[in-house]
């Protein structure tokens, strides 16, 4: 089955700097890769996603890149702000497409 | 618009007691429904998913069960809770179909088993 690894587990950056979180997956049939942000005590919320027919996607300060050959994808947050502090999860769709396998999460702290 | 509800928000139960967590979705039909568990400081583990009424698939063997008595209602149950059942339980839904879609998560239920 699918296995998703995520690094780093914790990340501290100064406000205004960029943050990068990387994930790798094992199942070459996976074709959908969402990123979720989870604030303390709340459910995860989707912030950006990418499908396997696209190499990069941007939404304001957030971007995701996908390298299908290497089976890894990354989240890039530019001009970080304190409200970006949260736990971020990557996920990959299973071979059927319905179920996700989540990475273990990255705790991002943006220091003012 | 679609909304997803979970209750209760928090629950403290003794070991050996039963459990029933409820999840309902509004504003959509025939959703795929999911139950996840999140241990403290950990990732999300898929417990059950359902593509229709009465159709439940289990991802991991465990002390829990799930049921879908109505199209937009998903229930997580246990007959006897274990200490290891403590965690943050999340319900999610996605659009039906074979193509992967965004999953929308509920607010979660924090369960503490003492």
Q: What is the distance between the alpha carbons of residues A69 and A8, in angstroms, rounded to a whole number?
A: 22
What are B83-110's pLDDT values in tens digits?
999 999 999 999 877 666 789 999 999 9
What's the pLDDT at B99?
Answer: 66
Q: How far apart are CA A43 and CA B102, in angstroms?
A: 14
For chain B (length 114 residues), average pLDDT per consecutive 10?
93 97 95 90 87 88 90 96 94 80 92 96
Contact between A43 and B46 using a beta-carbon 8 Å cutoff: no
| B59 at interface of A, judged by CB pairs closer than 8 A | yes
With a CB cutoff of 8 Å and minimum separation 6, the contacts of B86 are B39, B111, B112, B113
- Chain B residues whose beta carbon lies within 8 Å of the beta carbon of residue A97: 98-100
A-chain residues near B104 (CB < 8 A): 46
> What gap in Å lies between CA B91 and CA B106, rounded to an integer?
5
The residue-averaged pLDDT of A22-46 equals: 93
Residue pair A52/A31 in contact (Cβ under 8 Å)? The answer is yes
- What is the spatial distance between Cα A89 and Cα A46, in angstroms, rounded to a whole number? 9
Of the pLDDT bands very low, low, confident and very high (cuts 50, 70, 90), residue A96 is low
In this complex, is the C-beta atom of B89 within 8 Å of any C-beta atom belonging to chain A?
Answer: no
Taking an 8 Å cut-off on Cβ atoms, the answer to whether B100 and A93 are in contact is yes
Closest CB to A97: pick one of B42, B99, B108.
B99
Q: Do B46 and A100 touch (CB under 8 A)?
A: yes
Res. A70: pLDDT tops 90: yes
- Burial track B4-13 (b if 16+ CB lie within 10 A, e otherwise): bebeeeebeb
Q: Does B5 touch chain A (CB under 8 A)?
A: no
User: Is B100 close to A97, i.e. CB distance below 8 A?
Assistant: yes
* pLDDT at site B40: 76
Give A52→chain B minimum CA distance, Å. Answer: 11
Q: How far apart are CA A105 and CA B54, in angstroms?
A: 32
Q: How far apart are CA B105 and CA A87, in angstroms?
A: 15
Q: Do A104 and B51 touch (CB under 8 A)?
A: no
Closest C-alpha to A84, from A8, A11, A6: A11
pLDDT of residue A52: 83
The predicted pLDDT at position A98 comes to: 63
Please compute the mean of the pLDDT values over residues A13-41 and round it to a whole number. 94
Does residue A74 contact residue A61 with C-beta atoms inside 8 Å?
A: no
Q: Is A14 a residue whose pLDDT tops 70?
A: yes
> What residues of A are in contact with residue B34 (Cβ under 8 Å)?
99
What is the overall mean pLDDT for chain A? 92
Task: Place A76 in a pLDDT band, splitting at 50, 70 and 90.
Answer: very high
3-state helix, strand, coil in chain A (%, to 5): 5, 55, 40
Task: Check whether A90 has a pLDDT greater than 90.
Answer: yes
Within 10 angstroms of residue B74's Cβ, the number of other Cβ atoms is 29
| Chain B partners within 8 Å of A103 (Cβ) | 43
């Amino acid at each position: 089955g699918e296995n998703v690894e995520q690094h780093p587990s914790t990340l501290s950056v100064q406000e205004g700097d960029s943050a990068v979180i990387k994930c790798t997956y094992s199942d070459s049939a996976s074709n959908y890769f969402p990123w979720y942000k989870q604030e303390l005590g709340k459910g995860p919320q989707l912030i950006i996603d990418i499908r396997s027919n696209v190499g990069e996607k941007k939404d304001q300060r957030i971007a995701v890149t996908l390298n299908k050959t290497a089976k890894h994808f990354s989240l890039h947050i530019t001009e970080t702000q304190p409200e970006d502090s949260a736990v971020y999860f990557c996920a990959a769709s299973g071979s059927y497409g319905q179920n996700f396998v989540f990475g273990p999460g990255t705790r991002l702290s943006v220091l003012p | 618009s679609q909304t997803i509800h979970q209750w209760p928000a928090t629950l403290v139960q003794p070991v050996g007691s039963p459990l029933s967590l409820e999840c309902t979705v509004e504003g959509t039909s025939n959703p795929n429904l999911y139950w996840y568990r999140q241990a403290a400081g950990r990732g999300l583990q898929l417990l059950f998913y359902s593509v229709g009424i009465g159709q439940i698939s289990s991802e991991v063997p465990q002390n829990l069960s799930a049921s879908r008595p109505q199209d937009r209602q998903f229930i997580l149950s246990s007959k006897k809770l274990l200490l290891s059942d403590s965690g943050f339980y999340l319900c999610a839904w996605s659009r039906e179909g074979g193509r992967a879609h965004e999953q929308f998560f509920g607010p979660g239920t924090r369960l503490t088993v003492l």
